[in-house]
Amino acid sequence: MLFINLLLATTSIFLITYGIISIPKYLSRRKIYAKHGCLPPPSIPQRDPIFGLDLILQFFKALKENRRNLSMNQLFQAHGHTFQSVTLGTTAVYTIEPKNLQAVFATDFSSWGVEPMRLFAFEPFVGKGIMCADGAFWEQSRALIKPTFTRAQIADLHLTAYSAHVNKLIGLLPKDGSTVDLQPLFSRLALDSSTEFLFGASVGSLSPHSVSTDARSFLEAYDYGQMVVGRRLHLPKWNFLTWDKKFWDSCSIAHEFVDGYIARGRRICEQSEKGNVAPERYILAHEMIKETRDHNDIRNQLLNVFLPAHEATGVALTNVFFNLTRNPSCYAKLRQEILDAGEQAAWTFERLKSLKYLQYVINETFRLNPVIGTNTRMALRDTILPTGGGSSGTAPIYVKKGDRVTMSFYALHRRQDLFGDDANVFRPDRWNTLRPVPWSYLTFGGGPRVCPGQQLALTEVGYTIVKILQRFPAIENRDPVNQFLEVYKITTTSRNGAKVGFPTP
């Protein structure tokens, strides 16, 4: 009897305390609702309206079957441009309304963050850095990284080092018309370029000699680590992948790989301080070494930049040639534009931008096959999305602290009202007249967190396309599967790569 009375008393105290805390907050939120005319967006049907386990299982199945972007697009087609669901007891809003994306990425930037969601997933692999931090730590990381991606640095890259990497890649392409998968070659190109640009020395994976064991093991570990991080983003902290031995081994390999470059950078910096070595260009690894003696912090910052820098180029190039092989007329038209431009000057960033059809092909590839298919933010405080609520889909939406908003670039870029009735078709010429609605075409995000390396990636992609098309008059698709099959890691890559042939005349 005493136990029952104690239990009842404890329960009563809990309910009273909960009411004292919750009722004022509820009343405050109701006032904001009324003041701004907020209405909830449509809710998708769920068998489990409390924890949303049915939707979670649906997402896990889509991940396992490598159709995450397709599954997300189907939800938007079925439920409209903005809807909500219950996920693990919290509200999740899904939206592809440009005004909402503008609010999250720019105009209401401080109300949204990534660290509460990403840090658990990313930290074992790349540590705490620009990709998975908020606030002052993120600002400091961004300030340190920004000089690496100035226009001058990019121009220097393409006048010197990058062209040598591309020449090595072209030397590995078969000249007898046999089939080659461009995906692993583009990954190695991005690895060589990224290590030189960020660490000060290339790993040389495109060397005509055998690839070093370190480079090969790093690429394998890097690929697997990305895949697991992508899944950890969707799983609670107690998930079984936390004890995946192969994942932890991959993390160790990646760390040891970067540690070697840090040690090299320390030697160069020490020699430079003694006056024995002339100052080099701005190299992120060297600047980090000058800023701090914390080895783990240096490694984390480098890996946080290396990952998107590598993926933006390698994945995008694979997707470009995936599309060109299935559209040989586009290949021929683009090649003619490149040949007409001639070789009278170096291929600088400005000159590449002047090739209109080249830019159309790149834009169309990023539209149909964005490297990052979705992006999620967590509300760091109670806030409002400008549209998507109510039966009309135009009322503001109240979002509580801790709720999430997921934005699908993949689905956004396929909106027929924004990109035409043939939005699912690769047609670069649409960009001749298309002027996207602001915040409807997002290849590198937007606002303060916009990818600092976007111009680097676009320059690398454009330059590589130009040099390959100069060398090869035609291209053939050698993949029996015509449609794009996705593999979701942190990025979305082609499951079948880009299997092509360059037929001999």
| Each residue's pLDDT tens digit, 379-390 | 999 999 999 999
Q: What is the largest CA-CA distance in the chain?
A: 95
CA 364, CA 430: separation in Å to the nearest integer? Answer: 8
Whether residue 349 has pLDDT greater than 50: yes
Confidence of residue 273 (pLDDT cuts 50, 70, 90): confident
Higher pLDDT among residues 497 and 55, named by residue: 497
CA 196, CA 218: separation in Å to the nearest integer? Answer: 15
Whether residue 157 has pLDDT greater than 60: no
Mean pLDDT of 114-142: 92
Confidence of residue 7 (pLDDT cuts 50, 70, 90): low
Length of the chain in terms of residues written: 505
Confidence of residue 17 (pLDDT cuts 50, 70, 90): low
Q: What are phi and psi of 398, to 5 degrees?
A: -85, 130
Confidence of residue 178 (pLDDT cuts 50, 70, 90): very high
Confidence of residue 276 (pLDDT cuts 50, 70, 90): low
pLDDT at site 361 = 98
3-state helix, strand, coil in the chain (%, to 5): 60, 10, 30
**453 near 371, Cβ under 8 Å?**
no
pLDDT at site 306 = 87
CA 433, CA 430: separation in Å to the nearest integer? Answer: 6
Count other C-beta atoms under 10 Å from residue 253's C-beta.
18
Could you tell me what percent of the chain has a pLDDT over 90?
59
- For residue range 51-70, what is the model confidence (pLDDT) as tens digits? 777 777 787 788 778 888 99
CA 23, CA 18: separation in Å to the nearest integer? Answer: 8
Q: For the residues of 354-399, what is the DSSP string, one character each?
A: H-HHHHHHHHHHHHHS-SS-EEEEEESS-EEEEEEETTTT-EEEEE
Of 215-229, 233-247, 277-291, highest mean pLDDT = 215-229
Higher pLDDT among residues 70 and 159, named by residue: 70
Q: Which residues pair with 112 in a beta bridge?
A: 379
Q: Which of 17-26, 53-62, 337-346, 418-427 has the lowest average pLDDT?
A: 17-26
CA 181, CA 318: separation in Å to the nearest integer? Answer: 9
Regarding pTM above 0.75, the answer is yes
* Of 499, 142, 467, residue with least CA distance to 325: 499
Mean pLDDT of 22-40: 68
pLDDT at site 313 = 93
* Of 444, 475, 437, 438, residue with least CA distance to 458: 444
**401 near 384, Cβ under 8 Å?**
no
Chain-centroid distance of CA 359 in Å reads 20
Question: Amino acid identity of 42?
Answer: P
Mean pLDDT of 286-308: 88
Q: Alpha-carbon Rg of the chain, whole angstroms?
A: 25
- For residue range 88-106, what is the model confidence (pLDDT) as tens digits? 778 999 999 999 999 999 9
Confidence of residue 274 (pLDDT cuts 50, 70, 90): confident
Beta strands in 46-166 (DSSP E): 82-87, 90-95, 112-113
Confidence of residue 29 (pLDDT cuts 50, 70, 90): low
H or E element at residue 407:
strand 404-408
Beta strands in 45-158 (DSSP E): 82-87, 90-95, 112-113
pLDDT at site 1 = 59
pLDDT at site 393 = 92
pLDDT at site 22 = 46
pLDDT at site 147 = 82
Higher pLDDT among residues 157 and 170, named by residue: 170
pLDDT at site 18 = 47
pLDDT at site 9 = 59
**Binding-site entries for heme:** 451
pLDDT at site 487 = 87
**411 near 76, Cβ under 8 Å?**
yes
**Binding-site entries:** 451
CA 347, CA 155: separation in Å to the nearest integer? Answer: 9
Whether residue 236 has pLDDT greater than 80: no
CA 337, CA 56: separation in Å to the nearest integer? Answer: 48
Mean pLDDT of 237-253: 79
pLDDT at site 290 = 86
Whether residue 497 has pLDDT greater than 60: yes
Confidence of residue 30 (pLDDT cuts 50, 70, 90): low
Q: Which residues pair with 409 in a beta bridge?
A: none
**75 near 33, Cβ under 8 Å?**
no
DSSP 403: -
pLDDT at site 8 = 59
Q: What are phi and psi of 480, to 5 degrees?
A: -65, -20
- Tell me the average pLDDT of the chain: 87
**190 near 157, Cβ under 8 Å?**
no
Count other C-beta atoms under 10 Å from residue 441's C-beta.
21
DSSP 211: P
Beta strands in 132-255 (DSSP E): 179-181
The token pair that represents 441 in the structure block? 């075409």
